[in-house]
Structure 1
Amino acid sequence: MKLLGLFFLLFNLFVFSFSRKLLTKSGGLHDDGAVLLKLKSSFSDPNGLLSSWVSDSSSNHCSWYGVTCNSDLKVVSLILRGCDVGEGGSGSTSRGLHFPDLSSCSSRRLGGEISPVVGGLSEIRVLSLSFNHLRGEIPKEIWGLKKLEVLDLKGNSFIGGVRVLDPLKISKLVGFSSFSSNVVLRKLMSYEGEDDIGPSPADDDSSGKSGLYPIEIASIVSASVIVFVLLVLVLFFLYTKKWKRNSQIQVDEIKEIKVFVDIDTPLTYEIIVRATGFFSNSYCIGHGGFGSTYKAEVSPTNVFAVKRLSVGRFQGDQQFHAEISALEMVKHPNLVMLIGYHASETEMFLIYNYLSGGNLEDFIKERTKPAMEWKVLHKIALDVARALAYLHEQCSPKVLHRDIKPSNILLDDKFNAYLSDFGLSKLLGTSQSHVTTGVAGTFGYVAPEYAMTCRVSEKADVYSYGIVVLELISDKRALDPSFSAHENGFNIVSWAHMMLSQGKAKEVFTKGLWETGPADDLVQVLHLALKCTVDSLSIRPTMKQAVKLLKRIQPNRL
């Protein structure tokens, strides 16, 4: 205990000394609040739009106008849009581009320039400063923001405008329905001219200021070494003290598997790991956002799909056990069955029933004869709709999938469809929506309002379902390479609308499907898919409504 007390004493002295030096040299902490205040000083704000941005001990920068933070008080979204009066008044949008509602927008706009200090917002994902009176050059520091996903600078007077990137690259990275070339850019890690970006905001702030003196550097290094050595000693002491007491318990926990379904063979950690070839690539049958999936043939009659999760995705074992316990109660004929799971500090995996028909993505690519039969395609669309309707309306709390795409829809040998990866995102309570600190999902399938605001609801799943149905009935992908000849952001939704407007509805459907019909039913499904992908959430149908429509036009059963 004396050793531990000495460690904390020296650590506190080190932190105090080092903090004083930084404060003395820089004049303040370089947190996101300070960056925002510097950014404010570069703007002209005649109407007091940023009046809440004040340096006050009682003011939290996360509560300032236009600012959204994550749980670490780091800025993840900054939206200071003026009025789009040049495009039809407040709240108007370019065709296919989705922005938040601007019904309360007035004629207030910011002026001035964008300060290079914006590069200090290291966690920012969405930056929207469109329809203001900003001028000058766009700071190159913006392209150094590694986590920036959406950049909206339309409607300003920048020198040279907004850099125009390759249209195909933008459409693949952003995944919105349609937008003009200079509106929204996804930050590219291989941004051309990267070598010319120049100094970071921190480098600019330090110009003309002297660095630490050698004696100060030596003091900091010495203190760091002392802290490190003491920390190693403390950790070693605690580890050796607890190792004997917990070693047997830890071994037992590592090999434990929790099974939910009665099967005719015992499942142990060693059996599952050995059946996957110790998670060998030769046994891998798929990759997803939560991890890789492996085939595990325990016996001729017991074949499983084992999804190996990335350790660290969950905050700890308690969170993992709590979410899996909730999933045990989520059961539906069109959901992949959860057999059991294993969770320890070094390994986490889920055990599902194995489906021999592969996934819908491969089914669409191959386009064999069954993939062109209306009864088969209708059945798949209806099965997925039923699964989503169950998750949205019959589960308590409701379950939002957030990553609906063909590779997450599995098939058996009779073309029954099963939704996988459900429930591995955050479970919601009774609220209608939830604000997250990051966007889950895949570009091309993510709902535009979710990508822009990180606000997700069941209507985001409805949007993704509409994209899947369009891929199912056509020969196009969500972000098909053939769309590169059109404007930036042109995707399968834009293409389907174009075909309808030109009276070419039958050209939407995969070869041979229109001729075998019935054409009226095909058109109804096409309209359902497009209605699922409209901008307005209130117009999008619920999955229960989608199920009702599909059942009404159900062909003769297989």
Structure 2
Amino acid sequence: MKKLLLALFLLLNLFAFSFSRKLFSESGFHDEAVLLELKSSFSDPNGVLSSWDPNSSNHCSWYGVSCNSDLRVVSLILRGCDDREGSNLHFPDSSSCSGRLGGEISPAVGDLSEIRVLSLAFNDLGGQIPKEIWGLERLELLDLQGNSFIGGIHGVRVSNRISEDLNLADEKPGLWIRRSLANFGKSLKVDPLKVSEIVGVSLFSGNAVHGRKLTSLNDEEDGASPNSDDSSGKTGLYPIEIASIVSASVIVFVLLVLVVLFLYTKKWKRNSQVQVVEAKEIKVFVDNVIPLTYETVVRATGYFSNSNCIGHGGFGSTYKAEVSPNNVLAVKRLSVGRFQGDQQFHAEISALEMVRHPNLVVLIGYHASETEMFLIYNYLSGGNLEDFIKERSKPALEWKILHKIALDVARALAYLHEQCSPKVLHRDIKPSNILLDNNYNAYLSDFGLSKLLGTSQSHVTTGVAGTFGYVAPEYAMTCRVSEKADVYSYGIVILELISDKRALDPSFSSHENGFNIVSWAHMMLSQGKAKEVFTKGLWETGPQDDLVEVLHLALKCTVDSLSIRPTMKQAVKLLKRIQPSRL
């Protein structure tokens, strides 16, 4: 957020700077157009203005032109050859002469709003002095002597004290006026000792007319006093002033925007924090001995510490949560980001609460927010079937226990497929998702999560829901799932339960690709080595006929043809028929 605010600040300041430069630049081009207009009104037989060519150079480098840093014309000195001597008004290069200009002064000269010095003296200019000159409020020096203007001074009135040291009488009509140039005479290369504190007018015969600001006689008719000092009457704004005002306004606007964004961000963060706190609640489906709160559950897991982790799966890790000595839960922490508290998640998980069976783990409650998602189950102290098979202790060799586990899982799947409406497809049946209690009762876990959370994110999963080695071939190839895909996975689990092999056992590596526990079991049967399928000691303790029936059931569950595979209801019926005496 800070980077965004900084970028916005820099962007707006760049805009203000660009706007100001654009304004100055446009004003400079405007002055160039005025100079070209003046050139067109002059006759120039000697080529004095030959450098005034916009295609060859910048107007600020033209002969007689001086500009400020904004390309605005501040001085225009085009003095012709001066045939008078003894003048105490000197300009740079006044000793040299490039010729005289003729014609008239265009009224466009009044558009040079930044000009301080205008000297067109000793040329052959005629016509009337444009009244627009008198509107140049920044004009400090005007020298038009030595020309042949008509109409006298054209109604010029000036005020303030009279210059007593100037005697520039000229038989030709002419006019020059200058005001204190002491502060900027040097920058214009005009001798400051000659121009400092001098105010005066030279007319036809040296008659002096008082003045400070050039005005027309019409002003007197409007009631203006000849002796009034109206230097404070300036009301117009110059481009540089406009640009400064615009830039300042933009900066103030930027600051206001930044303040508003800052306050809004703080408020947003504060509201977000409140929402997170409010969302930290547990939705409970089953009454617990101790009321469950978010903090109670998370603290019981050791804040999801590795020491309390009891299993990893495609949907997340499971943690033991000892809320009290007699109240232990299993908390499956899900991968955040799939639903992020979406209404669909709440609806799906609430539907699972209605799925109840003696051989399904009990969903006690859940928590779902943008920062944390977990499911709460009853804790089963016997671990999972995967560890049970690996250990192969004495109970793992008893047929009664193995049969009971196979029947419990079959009953749970039959319930999901036949009695739930709509039916629930597990899609990830494997030994690690089958839990045991201390009496070797089996409970199927993670039912409904494949649909709820989508494809598992585990590295051992396929592109569909499920785990390599347990996924039905038609599901893996077409992504079309049915309850017969669960039947296939169940058959793989039964083969692992009765043998010493895993679904993709390392010993299969010497065979062709695709060789798995199903291929191995078929090979053993075809070679008359059925007893070698069973884990060591199990075949000897029997009953062998029942063991063979279970083997055939597992192989029938894993055939490619879906129509030949039994339903889980049929599997339950067969297992019940060969059920041994009670434990």
Cα distance 1:234–1:268, how it changes in 2: closer, same or farther (>3 A)?
A: same
Q: Residue 346 of structure 1 aligns to a residue in which SS?
A: coil
Q: What is the match of residue 507 of structure 2?
A: 482
Select which of 464, 467, 475 maps to 1:442. Answer: 467
Q: What is the match of residue 17 of structure 1?
A: none
8 A Cα contact 2:284 2:366, kept in partner: yes
1:491 aligns with 2:516: yes
2-structure distance, mates of 1:238, 1:244: 10
Q: What is the match of residue 194 of structure 1?
A: none
Select which of 401, 407, 412 maps to 1:376. Answer: 401
1:321 aligns with 2:321: no
Q: Residue 425 of structure 1 aligns to a residue in which SS?
A: helix
Superposition pairs of residues 95-110 of structure 1, within 5 angstroms:
none
Cα distance 1:527–1:268, how it changes in 2: closer, same or farther (>3 A)?
A: same
2-structure distance, mates of 1:338, 1:261: 8
2-structure distance, mates of 1:235, 1:439: 45
1-structure distance, mates of 2:506, 2:342: 42
Note the C-alpha offset of 1:316: 4.2
8 A Cα contact 2:501 2:517, kept in partner: yes
Note the C-alpha offset of 1:248: 3.3
1-structure distance, mates of 2:507, 2:260: 61
Deviations 1:477-525 (A, max 9, x none): 0011111111111110000000111111111111111111111111111
Note the C-alpha offset of 1:237: 7.8
Q: Residue 451 of structure 2 aligns to a residue in which SS?
A: coil
1:392 aligns with 2:378: no
Q: Look up the equivalent residue of 1:330 and give its one-letter code.
A: V
Q: What is the match of residue 276 of structure 1?
A: 301
Q: Aligned-pair RMSD on alpha carbons?
A: 2.5
Q: What is the match of residue 372 of structure 2?
A: 347
1-structure distance, mates of 2:260, 2:494: 58
Cα distance 1:474–1:315, how it changes in 2: closer, same or farther (>3 A)?
A: same
Q: Residue 456 of structure 1 aligns to a residue in which SS?
A: coil
Note the C-alpha offset of 1:238: 6.5
Deviations 1:131-176 (A, max 9, x none): xxxxxxxxxxxxxxxxxxxxxxxxxxxxxxxxxxxxxxxxxxxxxx
1-structure distance, mates of 2:340, 2:271: 25
Q: Residue 432 of structure 2 aligns to a residue in which SS?
A: helix
Note the C-alpha offset of 1:556: 0.5
Q: What is the match of residue 415 of structure 1?
A: 440
Q: Look up the equivalent residue of 1:251 and give its one-letter code.
A: V
Q: What is the match of residue 360 of structure 1?
A: 385
8 A Cα contact 1:340 1:350, kept in partner: yes
Select which of 524, 535, 540 maps to 1:515. Answer: 540
2-structure distance, mates of 1:471, 1:510: 9
2-structure distance, mates of 1:425, 1:523: 33
Q: Residue 358 of structure 1 aligns to a residue in which SS?
A: coil
8 A Cα contact 1:358 1:412, kept in partner: yes
Q: What is the match of residue 403 of structure 1?
A: 428
Identity fraction in percent: 87
8 A Cα contact 2:349 2:452, kept in partner: no
Greater CA drift, 534-543 or 308-317: 308-317
Cα distance 1:235–1:467, how it changes in 2: closer, same or farther (>3 A)?
A: farther
Note the C-alpha offset of 1:315: 6.0
Cα distance 1:285–1:235, how it changes in 2: closer, same or farther (>3 A)?
A: farther
Q: Look up the equivalent residue of 1:336 and give its one-letter code.
A: V
Note the C-alpha offset of 1:235: 9.0
2-structure distance, mates of 1:467, 1:363: 16
2-structure distance, mates of 1:427, 1:549: 32
Q: Look up the equivalent residue of 1:313 and give its one-letter code.
A: R
Q: What is the match of residue 253 of structure 1?
A: 279
1-structure distance, mates of 2:439, 2:416: 23
Q: Look up the equivalent residue of 1:420 and give its one-letter code.
A: S
Q: Residue 503 of structure 2 aligns to a residue in which SS?
A: coil
2-structure distance, mates of 1:424, 1:344: 17
1-structure distance, mates of 2:259, 2:501: 61
1-structure distance, mates of 2:355, 2:263: 45
Q: What is the match of residue 497 of structure 2?
A: 472
8 A Cα contact 1:399 1:427, kept in partner: no
2-structure distance, mates of 1:341, 1:313: 15
8 A Cα contact 2:340 2:370, kept in partner: no
1:540 aligns with 2:570: no
Q: Residue 303 of structure 2 aligns to a residue in which SS?
A: coil
Q: What is the match of residue 209 of structure 2?
A: none
Q: Residue 571 of structure 2 aligns to a residue in which SS?
A: helix
Deviations 1:200-244 (A, max 9, x none): xxxxxxxxxxxxxxxxxxxxxxxxxxxxxxxx9999786555455
Q: Look up the equivalent residue of 1:294 and give its one-letter code.
A: Y
8 A Cα contact 1:359 1:410, kept in partner: yes
Q: What is the match of residue 212 of structure 1?
A: none
Q: Look up the equivalent residue of 1:548 and give its one-letter code.
A: K
Note the C-alpha offset of 1:420: 0.6
Which runs of no fewer than 5 residues in structure 2 stay unpaired?
12-257, 454-461
Cα distance 1:419–1:241, how it changes in 2: closer, same or farther (>3 A)?
A: same
Length-normalised TM-score, structure 1: 0.55
Q: Residue 426 of structure 1 aligns to a residue in which SS?
A: helix
Cα distance 1:234–1:323, how it changes in 2: closer, same or farther (>3 A)?
A: farther
Cα distance 1:419–1:252, how it changes in 2: closer, same or farther (>3 A)?
A: same
Note the C-alpha offset of 1:544: 0.6
1-structure distance, mates of 2:552, 2:259: 67
Cα distance 1:473–1:242, how it changes in 2: closer, same or farther (>3 A)?
A: same
Q: Look up the equivalent residue of 1:280 and give its one-letter code.
A: S
8 A Cα contact 2:340 2:369, kept in partner: no
Cα distance 1:440–1:237, how it changes in 2: closer, same or farther (>3 A)?
A: farther
Q: What is the match of residue 147 of structure 1?
A: none
8 A Cα contact 1:257 1:341, kept in partner: yes
8 A Cα contact 2:340 2:368, kept in partner: no
8 A Cα contact 2:340 2:371, kept in partner: no
1:292 aligns with 2:317: yes
2-structure distance, mates of 1:439, 1:469: 22
Q: Look up the equivalent residue of 2:320 and give its one-letter code.
A: K
Q: Residue 312 of structure 2 aligns to a residue in which SS?
A: strand
Length-normalised TM-score, structure 2: 0.53
Cα distance 1:490–1:238, how it changes in 2: closer, same or farther (>3 A)?
A: farther
8 A Cα contact 1:398 1:427, kept in partner: no
2-structure distance, mates of 1:310, 1:235: 33
Q: Which 4+ stretches in 1 moved above 6 angstroms? A: 232-238
Q: Residue 330 of structure 1 aligns to a residue in which SS?
A: coil
Q: Look up the equivalent residue of 1:292 and give its one-letter code.
A: S
1-structure distance, mates of 2:516, 2:260: 57
1:500 aligns with 2:499: no
2-structure distance, mates of 1:399, 1:235: 50
8 A Cα contact 1:294 1:305, kept in partner: yes
8 A Cα contact 2:491 2:558, kept in partner: yes
Q: Which has the larger radius of gyration?
A: 2
2-structure distance, mates of 1:277, 1:387: 32
Number of residue pairs aligned between Structure 1 and Structure 2: 322
